[in-house]
Amino acid sequence: MKLFVDTGDTEEVRRAADWGILDGVTTNPTLIAKSGKGFKETVVKICELVPEGEISAEVVATDYDTMLKEAHEIASWHPNIVVKVPLIESGIKLVRTLTDEEIKTNVTLVFTVSQALLAAKAGATFISNFVGRVDDMSDDGMAAVADTVAMVDTFGFESEVLVASVRHPLHVVQAVQAGAHIATMPIKVMEMLFKHPLTDSGLTRFLSDWNNAGLSIF
């Protein structure tokens, strides 16, 4: 499964990239606004920090003609950019156009398998199923992920299922169990994936036994 970090903060991207396991980055207008820096400047910097990565950057217009202009502008910034498009009528029309132009797309704000079907039919590269925001509504956000993975597999769509709005490591575990292709998460969640008390206590014991024995490798 691919791992993406969900942020507009280039220092967080640098740290995640440094672990050597990062496959990409997702941004959104809220995260870019939070970064306090320019959109193009931030996205291009992120592309430089993750040279092999798939970097999602979102259009902000809602009418087709302006979205198309924005999409072409954003896609021109770097070959690794994936144009992020909201699941609205003009958005699906845009994804169809960009697919025909071989521009990668990430359809965002997807909450149901029926929305995911529209994105897959339009040729979306990634379908971003939001789980945390559904859980916040006392519902099970991962259910739509499982349905979307089953739909993509059953009908042979090319789209990859991206689990977004991840709140905690269990969402990543459930994404793996659902057979999702990608999970994007805040860096604090990615940090937690490393953690287990038995790993810490096991390493402490190994090192104390080794040191007590006065051994060395060199």
User: Where along the sequence are the contacts to ligand G3P (CB under 6 A)?
Assistant: 6, 26, 28, 130, 132-133, 164-165, 184
Question: Among residues 127 and 202, whose Cβ is nearest to ligand G3P?
Answer: 127
Measured from the CB atom, is 22 or 164 closer to ligand G3P?
164
How far is Cα 132 from Cα 186, in angstroms, rounded to an integer? 12
| Cβ at position 84, least distance to ligand G3P in Å | 8
Q: Report the nearest approach of ligand G3P to the CB of residue 28 (Å).
A: 4
Nearer Cβ to ligand G3P (80/106): 106
Rounded Cα gap, residues 160 and 127, in angstroms: 6
Is residue 44 within 8 A of residue 77, CB to CB? The reply is yes
Based on the number of CB atoms within 10 Å of its own CB, is 50 exposed (0-12), middle (13-18) or buried (19 or more)? Answer: buried
84 belongs to the catalytic site? yes
Other Cβ atoms closer than 10 A to 132: 17
Which tokens hold the place of 59? 């259009």
Minimum Å distance from CB 218 to ligand G3P? 46
Active-site entry in 69, 84, 188, 195: 84
Q: Which are the catalytic amino acids?
A: 84
